[in-house]
Amino acid sequence: MKRYSIPAIVAALAILVSPACADNHAENNAPQFIRTANGASFDTDFTVAAENTVNAVVCIKSYTNQRQQQQQGYPGGGFNDPFFEFFFGPQQRQQQPRQQQRNSEPVQSGLGSGVIITEDGYIVTNNHVIADADKLEVLLNDNSTYEATVIGTDEATDLALIKIDAEKLHSITFGNSDDLKIGEWVLAVGNPFGFNSTVTAGIVSAKARSISQATRGGRMGIESFIQTDAALNPGNSGGALVNLKGELIGINSAIYSNTGSYSGFSFAIPTSIVKKVMTDLKQYGTVQRAQLGCTIAELDSKLAKEKNIKATLSGVLVIDVAERSTAMELGLQTDDVIIGINGTKIATVPQLLEQLNRYRPGDQITVTFVRDNKEMEKSGTLRNAHGNTNLTKKGEFSEVGCAFMKLNDETKRKLGIRNGVKVTGIKDGAFREAGIKDGFIIVDINGRAVNTSDDVEMIYNQIMKSDDDDKVMFITGLYPNGKKYYYAVNLSQE
């Protein structure tokens, strides 16, 4: 028997996978194999996509004043979570020099990425990149620097829209995330660890991926991420995920990691959601959310067997239907299984939520569902959380309709309180509608002590950014005569 050495075997295998060797064989009219496929699936030239993207991706530096930094402990805005903590560079946990700490100027507290979406300076990024910042600085790929203003934020989808005063910028082209296929090549472009315009490559690992279980319930209002294996690290957050045409198909937002650095999985918000949220923030200042108005659960084989559902083994099971809801108008009932929205197949809860995130209250919707193992289809009008089709207005702190005066120590001592602010100059607004009068002293709001107008405004902003359907200030306080009162101030803007 003839024996072969290991180097000889390796050399033989190399011939089988070497294009150059294949060409030589072809010239000798003795091909060992032929290619049976070509086109995009074998195109791994990333240069065009990279060139079309790097100039549209920016570095965003956030700055906060020292008072905020000392309150927060470190400038992370509360995102001390190994699954999301990748949007600040490593310098963010370092102690600032003492001389700098005494400076009243804001200091850098965060580092992330953003994507230019219009030539006149609108930029999309993650909400957590800019959260609680007093100043935002945007660095373009050509090293020019601009100060940015916040147009709108949406904590639920972790998206934000900011703007710089510039023209004729290199904006990115939007692609259609619905057209993505599992296994398709994608590029991630951002500023990991502060290294500007870094490009990494990977494939689409999954679509409509939910990560709430991994994040212990999560904070995010979307559960339909694009999962990739493109490497992301601190500073990539808010950057672009693009296809090989250089088209934006997602905003990089999270990684799955036990360390806070890349470990193999990363997640991006699909453009099907990004486009709608950005349009809402630009047009209305806040996101318009439509709801079906029913309690749901994901159908599995166990539930299907329990409910005697045989027509489908996937979909979204209706548990309960709320009054004055779209679900009630559609005639949905307990144990119905939603399998389609406007012609798009629905197999999971994340897919349902992704579809609903594309629409606003007042939009028409057609729902396909299974009842008693028979497929049915009905149409209705989407409503908001309050059961109507009104669009939400952007909440402004001035709409409370009054000013707030700090109390002196003597007044606090006389009233027997340790903290409080005085309502003054009341006019038409949420406070007057709740029955509050001039001179009322607020001791706490939603269980939190207040001492300044800034404290009240901070609580107001947190309420308005929350995902709660009912946005209410529960106020405890007293009038100068010492009589205690409780008020509920409705902040819902419709």
Q: Active-site residues: which are they?
A: 128, 158, 237
Interacting residues of 91 by C-beta distance below 8 A, sequence separation 6+? 108, 111, 194
CA angle at 25 for the pair 24 and 31, rounded to the nearest 5°: 150
- Contact between 441 and 480 under an 8 Å Cβ cutoff? The reply is yes
Residue found by looking up tokens 């036990």 in the block: 258
Round to whole Å and give the CA distance between 477 and 425: 17
User: For residue 473, which phi and psi values (nearest 5 degrees)?
Assistant: -95, 115
What letter does residue 408 receive in the DSSP assignment? P
Beta bridge mates, 154: 159
Report how far apart, in Å, the C-alpha atoms of 379 and of each of 302, 340, 341 are. Answer: 29, 12, 10
Round to whole Å and give the CA distance between 222 and 169: 30
Task: Write the DSSP string, 184-251.
Answer: -EEEEEE-GGG-TTEEEEEEEEEEEE--TTTTTT-S-S---EEEE-S---TT-TT-EEE-TT-EEEEE
Q: Which two tokens stand for residue 315?
A: 């979909």
Round to whole Å and give the CA distance between 54 and 181: 23
Query: Which residue from 117, 131, 89 is spatially nearest to 236, judged by alpha carbons?
Result: 89
User: Residue 298: what residue type?
Assistant: E
User: Residue 17: what residue type?
Assistant: V
Beta bridge mates, 265: 256
Interacting residues of 416 by C-beta distance below 8 A, sequence separation 6+? none
